[in-house]
Amino acid sequence: MNWTNERPTQRGWYWFRGTPGLPLGQYDGILQIDNCGQAQLNGKAGWWPFERFEGQWAGPVEQPK
């Protein structure tokens, strides 16, 4: 799994590394993307529109076997 600037195109869990100085850019961690275009950082309250997250992505994170 590698970091990329390309946004995820499917729902699931992704590593996210925000871009400092941009909205929500101070956040780093695991992010969940749902079917409705909303995203939530693990451990943080609230859902935000997915398009507000600017930064680098890695994933999707696969479930353990």
pTM above 0.95, yes or no: no
**Average model confidence (pLDDT) for the chain?**
89
Q: Per the structure block, which two tokens stand in for 29?
A: 């961690």
CA dihedral 19, 25, 27, 31 (to 10 degrees): -80
Closest CA to 54 of 9, 14, 20: 20
Sign of dihedral through CA atoms 15, 45, 7, 10? positive
Residue 51 CB neighbour total at 10 angstroms: 9
Mean pLDDT calculated for residue range 48-64? 90
More confident site: 54 or 23: 54
Which of the pair, 43 or 38, is modelled with greater confidence?
38
